[in-house]
Amino acid sequence: MTDDVTRFFVLTGGPGSGKSALIDGLARAGHAHMPEAGRAIIREQVATGGRALPWVDPAAFAELMLARDVRAHRNARHQHGLVFFDRGIPDVAGYMRLSGLAVPAHMDHSAKMFRYNGRVFIMPPWRDIFTQDSERKQDFDVAVRTYETLATTYADYGYELMEVPRTPIEQRTRFILQNAGAA
- Give residue 15's pLDDT: 80
- CA-CA distance, 116 to 69, in Å (whole number)? 12
Q: Domain extents for the chain? A: 8-179
Angle between helices 89-98 and 58-76 (to 10 degrees): 170
Per cent of the chain over pLDDT 90 is 73
- Give residue 18's pLDDT: 83
Per the CB < 8 A criterion, the answer to whether 172 and 18 are in contact is: yes
Burial of 168 (0-12, 13-18, 19+ CB in 10 A): exposed
CATH number assigned to the domain covering 8-179: 3.40.50.300
- 99-115 pLDDT per residue, tens: 999 999 999 999 999 99
